[in-house]
Amino acid sequence: MSKTFFTLPTCKTCQRIEADLKPAESGAVVRDIKAQAITAEEIDAMHAHSGSYEALFSRRAMKFRSMGLADRQLTESDFRQLIMDEYTFLKRPVLLTGAGVFAGSAKASVEAARSALRG
């Protein structure tokens, strides 16, 4: 599997991390998740590595509260469907490789993504 870096170009955090990691220079395909939606196969591949759709879900998305999701008990299938329906629910940026998935802006995740890109 090739490396794919899923990002939202208008997101300042994504811009900063992409500038730091330079995924395209490491052979990764850089994908704008707003312009080209995540496929079911891609979200399921991310899940296979993370073990959970919830781990890929961003509770920081503005729609999380506006849709009343903070007050609901969400299941794994809910998390999957929400990410499929609305790109802003994907914790980003995400690096998907054959060896793993690295999601979000946490320092440990970014460092693991850096290692995966270089390795």
- Provide the residue ranges of all domains of the chain, joining segments of one domain with +: 4-118
Q: Does 98 or 22 have the greater pLDDT score? A: 22
Rg, Å, the chain Cα set: 14
pLDDT for res 119: 76
Which pTM value belongs to this model?
A: 0.93
Measured between its terminal Cα atoms, the distance across the chain in Å is 14
pLDDT for res 99: 86
Rounded percentage of the chain residues whose pLDDT exceeds 90: 90
Q: Which residue has the tokens 């790109």?
A: 87
- If one looks up domain 4-118 in CATH, what number appears? 3.40.30.10
pLDDT for res 1: 57
How far apart, in whole angstroms, are the C-alpha atoms of residue 105 and residue 91? 8
- Residue 7 — pLDDT band, cuts 50, 70, 90? very high
Mean pLDDT computed over 73-94: 96
